[in-house]
Structure 1
Amino acid sequence: MHDPFGALAEAIIYQQITGRAAATIHARVVALFDSEVETLAPEQILSATEEQLRSAGLSRGKTLALKDLATKTLEGIVPTLDELETMDNEAIIERLIPIRGIGRWTAEMLLIFRLGRPDVLPVGDYAIRKAFGLHFREGEFPTPREVTEHGERWRPFRTVASWYLWRSLSLK
């Protein structure tokens, strides 16, 4: 990951829609700006009107979230890549969740897929809980607390357990 803003902006765009639709919308947002790179910059988002961003396919909520992310990036609230590399997982999550459109799950996905952190167990993730229930609770859907407690035995490699849990759902 080269740019926390670009990674988080992409995560916001991809939330709650299919990957294909999200990729199309992301490409349209990038195309709004005369840029040769396929990532977004906070200055670009702030220079765009809400109407321009909406015309690319973004919902009002995602438009507001991207504007908030851009503002907080320029204010120094969003950590730089160098800062992220020195912060522990919980510190990163706590720093990011006050930003509109970024909750714990989005922050955890950044930790796993963009920062390569080895010890993340996203207990709020529906698929993680479903797979956990199938494998450890005879199909009963667990609470996040139950997954957290059981997941302690997987430290310091809970990300690997997460990958296996996600993958196991495609094998059923």
Structure 2
Amino acid sequence: MAAIKKEVIASAPDYWAEACKHLIKKDRVLRRLIPQVGDVALYQRGDAFTTLARSIVGQQVSVASAQRVWDRLAALPRSMTPRSVLKLKVDDMRAAGLSARKVEYLVDLALHFDSGQLHVKQWNQMDDPAIVAELVAIRGISRWTADMFLIFHLARPNVLPLDDATLIQGISQHYFSGDPVSRSDAREVAQAWNPWCSVASWYIWRSLAPLPVDY
């Protein structure tokens, strides 16, 4: 009989409504997109390890593909904890759809958590650059992954994930009629989003994907 997994109750950040009001006022594209998306929001995940693991799984693949692989991976252990992941067989993780490199990254992440090397209890008091510096020192954690962690776990409101291809695609589609977009172009667009770049990014993602972005 399959083990019953405890579901973590998630909630939207308390600044969400204020951010949406600001973005609708300041940005012509988001004035249209936010009402179209409807009554949904980014939901903050309560478990740091799971959030980082999901981000590793989602590297360089579509949102839908990442969700399928995650669902298969999450069904393997009784609970998604660092110690449980360290007990998984490599062949089973590969069969779930992970590349050999992503298996190595997940194992290294689990080792960092299990050994107590990370300042998990201090993250809420640390600023964004300090957290990014700590995370990118872990094998397999890129700046993209660190940005996803800031947005989806710590719910930091003003993260602009310029390494995210889907965000750049969305900015190209909505602001530049599909023409190529540089990082400078994206930063210029995002000037109107401050101090709510995380919220704006989420709506750009949501406009391109049939499922809410969830890392």
Give CA deviations for 1:54-103 in whole Å, capped at 9, x if unaligned.
Answer: 233322111101111011112334442x3221111121211111223321
Aligned to 1:2: 46
Q: How many residues matched?
A: 165
* Contact 1:123–1:144 (Cα < 8 Å) also in 2: yes
Aligned CA distance change for structure 1 residues 79 and 149 (closer, same or farther; 3 Å): farther
* Contact 2:157–2:198 (Cα < 8 Å) also in 1: yes
Aligned to 2:5: none
> Matched residues in 1 for 2:183 and 2:92: separation?
39
* Contact 2:162–2:168 (Cα < 8 Å) also in 1: yes
> Matched residues in 1 for 2:192 and 2:164: separation?
19
Aligned CA distance change for structure 1 residues 30 and 131 (closer, same or farther; 3 Å): closer
- 1:158 equivalent to 2:202? Answer no
Aligned to 2:103: 63
TM superposition score normalised by structure 1? 0.77
Which one of 102, 121, 125 corresponds to residue 141 of structure 2? 102
Aligned CA distance change for structure 1 residues 27 and 135 (closer, same or farther; 3 Å): closer
> Matched residues in 2 for 1:75 and 1:141: separation?
44
* Contact 1:121–1:158 (Cα < 8 Å) also in 2: yes
- Higher relative contact order, chain-length normalized (CA < 8 Å, sep 6+): 2
Give CA deviations for 1:40-62 in whole Å, capped at 9, x if unaligned.
Answer: 11111222232232233322111
Aligned CA distance change for structure 1 residues 130 and 47 (closer, same or farther; 3 Å): closer
Please give the residue correspondences for 1:9-48 in structure 2 after superposition, counting only pairs within 5 Å. 9-33=53-77, 35=78, 37=79, 40-48=80-88
Is the helix fraction higher in 1 or 2?
1
Deviates most, 85-94 or 138-147: 138-147
TM superposition score normalised by structure 2? 0.64
Aligned to 2:163: 124
Structure 1 unmatched ranges of 5 or more: none
Aligned CA distance change for structure 1 residues 42 and 169 (closer, same or farther; 3 Å): closer
Structure 2 unmatched ranges of 5 or more: 1-44, 210-215
> Matched residues in 2 for 1:156 and 1:13: separation?
29
Counterpart amino acid of residue 32 in structure 1? L
Query: How large is the Cα RMSD of the aligned pairs?
Result: 2.7
* Contact 2:73–2:96 (Cα < 8 Å) also in 1: yes
